[in-house]
Structure 1
Amino acid sequence: MRIDLHTHSTASDGTDTPTELVRNAAAAGLDVVALTDHDTSRGHAEAVAALPAGLTLITGAELSCRLDGVGLHMLAYLFDPDEPELLRERELVRDDRVPRARGMVAKLNDLGVHVTWEQVARIAGDGSVGRPHVAEALVELGVVATVSDAFTPDWLADGGRAYVAKHELDPFDAIRLVKAAGGVTVFAHPAAVKRGQVVPESVIADLAAAGLDGIETDHMDHDPATRARLHGLAADLGLLATGSSDYHGSRKTCVLGEFTTDPDVYGEITRRATGAFPVPGAGGTTA
């Protein structure tokens, strides 16, 4: 059983539509895929409608959080998307994305980079605009070679020359809100140092004490030694250890199923969730 619990679609910053995502997941030989767009559940209905037979969908989101100036992402699975308090916080984050992106465009212009808001909006399309869309604009202009190369202090990394902050959740509040909505929380890529500063392991212990369910141990941004260390930390703290691709379509080099989650861990996630339930594929739409 092959299970990938972290993917993105055009509802946020992926390049596959939700329909394409689930079809590509089935073609990649996955049995279970989670759609975890940034701070939104907008792609869920389309993914469910297109879900191929033999593939199960886990609905979720990747919540933007910040603690003591350090950005972190919280994967939330199988929560009630209509729970008012969590919905309100996700809308605050979403509504802050456009002025934030405009602010990054303005900073880049001040740095002599002739990116335009119209260019970024075209790249984002109907998705929730974010840093990857600005990064892709830099690629189009030849300023950087890849999207990842834009996430440096010179450009868009946390605290970088063109960085602009946005509304983000306190991770302890995120855990509380997701739990209240019947969901399950997993700290995404907690040791991805190439993305910027990460929180110390003592914070992960505090999050575990506050109800965190798991950590994403197996991820493309964790080298083998880091993955082994995180597996040990998860065992010590009684946390679930997950593996995922963090697939973004053609925007990143990761591929569906690059890392996967143990079926027993997946079973425990679904056992703990009360806000929503896995959706088995029924053949999907033919359009």
Structure 2
Amino acid sequence: MDQSPPVDQSTKTGLPAVENGLSAPRFADMHLHTSFSDGTYSPEELTEHGRRHGLSAMALTDHDTVDGCQRMALACEKAGIEFAPGTELTAEINGHEVHLLGYFLDLSNARFLSEMSSFQNVRQDRIREMVARLNEIGIPLKEETVFKLANCRSPGRPHVARALIQEGFCTTLDEAFERFLKKHRHAWVPKRRMTAAEAIALVHEANGLAVLAHPGLNRTDDVIPELVEVGLDGIECFHTRHNPAMAEHYLGIAGRHRLLVSGGSDCHGMSKGRPLIGTVKLEYRHYEALRDAATARRLPRSPLVLQSSS
């Protein structure tokens, strides 16, 4: 697991200065996780951290689930923070793994919710296989222990790592990943991924926006044009692991492809040893552009009126 220090980009967003008594600039964080996937904060705790950091808008993007969105929406409403219901999906395009953030999702869309349920079943099966592989090498971890600790429908490798620590088989998350869970280790189980086109279509089915997450981590520059062709709406230019030069690079790509700009901390609470909320603050104007684009997607299109030539 990458434990390098996060890059604080709160000063790398072109923020307007506060002058002549004007109100302070407003910020958003559009990439956040809770205990409904592999984060450690509850929706209420995460919202309170956002309030303390002065956020005006937040998006919840738990992996393969929207289960925490209703609680987060209520918490944000009480805190006076705008909220975007979302998720983070893993997909593949031309052999490249990509992560896609879905924003402003219609949480009543039956097909979308059915697909989320299927993804969660796949995640649970993956946990069972990881535990079985650990048992093969003499680590008597029980799947019930992992599921009880996870206490969510969308468990992941961090829950297995925490269970290994809880049961005394490892002392740190890093050790658990390094010994057993990282790629090509004995208990590593590859993810089952949909195509990027399928993931983007699913987000659009729920009237949401599909945004490429942390392209600098996955090194997905080469496939961005193809993602645009299948309907990509935006890029996460600002991220905890994007340094200022990378952020500028992706802003340029967003501009060339006429994509929306997003950014977020990718906070998982204390899951990775540190809370990251507050390290990336997206200019509010970018949030407004995302929100307005999602609103426009929901509006019925006006019929084309042909002018008479007479």
**TM-score past 0.5 threshold:** yes
In the TM superposition, what is the alpha-carbon distance from 1:49 to its structure 2 partner?
2.5
SS, match of residue 31 in structure 2: strand
In the TM superposition, what is the alpha-carbon distance from 1:180 to its structure 2 partner?
2.7
Does residue 148 of structure 2 align to residue 128 of structure 1? no
Instruction: Please report the RMSD computed on the Cα atoms of aligned residues, expressed in angstroms.
Output: 2.4
SS, match of residue 180 in structure 2: coil
Describe the superposition over 1:181-224 as per-residue Cα deviations: whole angstroms up to 9, x where unpaired: 211111111221xxxxx354221111022221111122222334
TM-score for the superposition, normalised by structure 1: 0.84
CA–CA distance in structure 2, aligned partners of residues 217 and 85 of structure 1: 30
8 Å CA contact retained: 1:66, 1:168: yes
Q: Out of 137, 152, 160, which is 2:163 matched to?
A: 137
> Which amino acid in the other structure matches residue 272 of structure 1?
A
SS, match of residue 20 in structure 1: helix
CA–CA distance in structure 1, aligned partners of residues 152 and 298 of structure 2: 25
SS, match of residue 198 in structure 2: helix
Does residue 212 of structure 2 align to residue 212 of structure 1? no
1:116 — aligned with what?
142
In the TM superposition, what is the alpha-carbon distance from 1:82 to its structure 2 partner?
2.5
8 Å CA contact retained: 2:38, 2:156: yes
Q: Which runs of 5+ in 2 are unaligned?
A: 1-25, 300-310
TM-score for the superposition, normalised by structure 2: 0.78
Count of residue pairs the alignment pairs up: 271
1:24 — aligned with what?
49
Seen in structure 2, the aligned counterparts of structure 1 residues 127 and 93 have a Cα distance that, compared at 3 Å, is: closer
Seen in structure 2, the aligned counterparts of structure 1 residues 105 and 68 have a Cα distance that, compared at 3 Å, is: farther
CA–CA distance in structure 2, aligned partners of residues 221 and 119 of structure 1: 32
Seen in structure 2, the aligned counterparts of structure 1 residues 86 and 127 have a Cα distance that, compared at 3 Å, is: closer
Describe the superposition over 1:226-274 as per-residue Cα deviations: whole angstroms up to 9, x where unpaired: 3332222222222223221111111122421211222221111111114
2:6 — aligned with what?
none
1:263 — aligned with what?
284
Once the two structures are overlaid, the 10-residue window that deviates more, 102-111 or 225-234, is 225-234
1:285 — aligned with what?
none
CA–CA distance in structure 1, aligned partners of residues 130 and 201 of structure 2: 31
CA–CA distance in structure 1, aligned partners of residues 236 and 288 of structure 2: 16
CA–CA distance in structure 2, aligned partners of residues 12 and 276 of structure 1: 28
Q: Which runs of 5+ in 1 are unaligned?
A: 193-197, 278-287
> Which amino acid in the other structure matches residue 243 of structure 2?
D
1:234 — aligned with what?
254
Does residue 99 of structure 2 align to residue 73 of structure 1? yes
Q: Out of 250, 253, 256, which is 2:270 matched to?
A: 250
